[in-house]
Amino acid sequence: MKNNTMKEISAKLAESRSVFLFPHVHMDGDALGSASALCGALRKLGKTAWILIEDEIADNLQFLERGYCVDVNCFNGTVQNGDAEKLTEQTAGRTLKDVTGTERADICLCIDCGDTGRFEKRRNIFADGVFRICLDHHATSKPFAEMNYIDPKAAATGEIVYDLLRELETVYSADLIDEKIGEAIFSAIMTDTGNFQYSNTTSKSHKVAAELIELGVDFHAAAVKLYQNINVSRVRLNAKAIERMKIFAGGRAAMTSVTQMLMQSVGAAMNEAEGIAETMRNLRGVEIAVLLKENDDGWIRASLRAKTKADVARIASRFGGGGHVKAAGCTLKMTMQEAEEQMTAAVEEALQEKEMDGTQNS
Ligand SMILES: [Mn+2]
C-alpha cells in the first residue's frame, strides 16, 4: 500500500460533514498541535470536528486544547485521569452524540500515530467511523486506514497538516491558517524537532516555520507557553530521577526510572517526566538514554533516545513498540526490575553492534 495524495485526502475531507481526530496517548506538542490545527481549520470550514482524547493534557500544552477535546473516559463510565469535575461536567451522564452531535463520524482520522493500539480506549469509536484516514510521520507506521499519508521524512506531523491545510485552502479558495492555527502548527514542529536542533529537522521545517512567522504567528509567546511554564513538581521529579540515574556501557548509556511512589513524593503527574530522557542524552559521551516510567496500570513505559548513530526504534520494536530512529518508546509488561535488566541488556547489545559496524567500516 502506498500513500494517498494530499489532493485525495483533502477531497475526502471536503465531502465529509463530521471528523473525529485521534492523537496518540500521552500527547506531545506534535500530536496535540497537529490535531488542534486541523480541528480548528475543519471547524472554520463549517464541519463538526472534535479531538477525542483518553488521558490528561500536559499543563504546558493546555493552550492548544481550544475547547476541541473530548475525554472519552466518562463515556466508559469512569473518569481515570484529569480534572474529574471538569470532565464530569462535559460528559458524565451524556453520550458521545450529546457532546459532539454525532456518535459515528464521517471520518475518523488517526494523527501522529499509525496504530490504533496507541489509543486503546478510543479504538472502538475509531473503528466505528464511516471512513478512516491516517496522517503520520513515524517510520515504523504502516498504512492501515482507507487513506494514508505517512511521511517519515516529515520532522513533525505538523508539517503534513500544514501541507494539507494549504491544499484545503486551494479546494475552498479560502484562507485557513490564522494566528491560532499557525501557532499550533509551529508548536508541533518546534517540539518534535527539539527547537530545530534534532537531526530530523529539514529545510522544510524551517520554511514552514518562516511561512508561519510571516503570517503573524507569535513563536516567542508559544515558546514561553511550551517551555518557560513548568511546575516546580516537574523540576523536583527531574532532580530525583537524575539522582538515581545509572550510567553503563562504559559511559555510553544512561538509564533511570520514575515510579508512582517517586511521583507522589514530589506531587508530580506522569506527564511531568517528559524531558528526563533528553536530559540524560545531553550528557557527554552518552549515546542512548532510557527512561522507565511505571504507569498507573503497573506496566512500564520506556522512552528511548539516541544521540548520533544508534537506532532506538529498533530496540523499541523488539519489545513491541516503535517510533523514530532517535526517539522511540515501548510498553514493557513486566516489573520495574525486569524492565531495567532487559533494557540494560538490549541497550548494551545495540551499542556493541554499532561498535562492530564501526570496526568493519574502518
Ligand atoms: Mn510527531
Domains delineated in the chain: 6-226 (3.90.1640.10), 232-361 (3.10.310.30)
Distance 92 CA to ligand 1 centre (A): 31
DSSP 8-state assignment for residue 116: G
What is d(CA 197, CA 140) in angstroms, rounded to the nearest whole number? 22
CA of 119 to the centre of ligand 1 (A): 15
Residues 288-328 pLDDT 10s: 999 999 998 889 999 999 999 999 999 999 999 998 899 99
The predicted structure's pLDDT at residue 359: 43
Other Cβ atoms less than 10 A from the Cβ of 264: the count is: 9
User: How far, in Å, is the centroid of ligand 1 from the Cα of 159?
Assistant: 10
Give the Å distance between the CA of 65 and the centre of ligand 1: 17
Give 85 Cα–ligand 1 centroid separation in angstroms: 30
Rounded to an integer, the average pLDDT of 154-173 is 98
Tens digit of each residue's pLDDT (9 = 90 or more) over 180-217: 999 999 999 999 999 999 999 999 999 999 999 999 99
Kindly report whether the global pTM for this prediction surpasses the value 0.75.
yes
- 152 CA to centre of ligand 1 in angstroms: 10
Q: What percent of the chain has pLDDT over 90?
A: 81
Mean pLDDT of all residues in the chain? 92
Residue 78 has pLDDT above 90, yes or no: no
Angle at the Cα of 15 (from 10 to 20), degrees rounded to 5? 75
Ligand 1 centroid distance, CA of 23 (Å):
10
Which pLDDT score, from 0 to 100, does residue 344 have? 98
pLDDT number for residue 214: 97
Phi, psi of 92 (to 5 degrees): -60, 135
Helix/strand/coil for 234: helix
- Gap between the Cα atoms of 121 and 101, Å rounded: 20
Q: Residue 278 C-alpha to ligand 1 middle, in angstroms?
A: 16
pLDDT computed for residue 83 by the predictor: 57
Cα dihedral across residues 331, 76, 59, 217: positive or negative? positive
Q: If you measure from the C-alpha of residue 150 to the centroid of ligand 1, how many angstroms do you get, rounded to a whole number? A: 11
- Determine the distance separating the centroid of ligand 1 and the alpha carbon of 28, expressed in angstroms: 8
**CA 111 to ligand 1 center in whole angstroms:** 9
Cell numbers given for 296: 498507573
Specify whether the CB–CB gap between 191 and 23 falls below 8 A: no
Amino acid at 269: A
In angstroms, what is the span from residue 221 Cα to ligand 1's centroid? 21
**Predicted local distance difference test score (pLDDT) of residue 177:** 98
CA distance 183 to 282: 28
CA atoms within 13 A on the CB side of 72: 20
Instruction: Determine the average pLDDT of the residues in 91-115.
Output: 89
Is the pLDDT assigned to residue 82 strictly greater than 90? no
* Distance between Cα 123 and ligand 1 center (Å): 19
Burial of 337 (0-12, 13-18, 19+ CB in 10 A): exposed
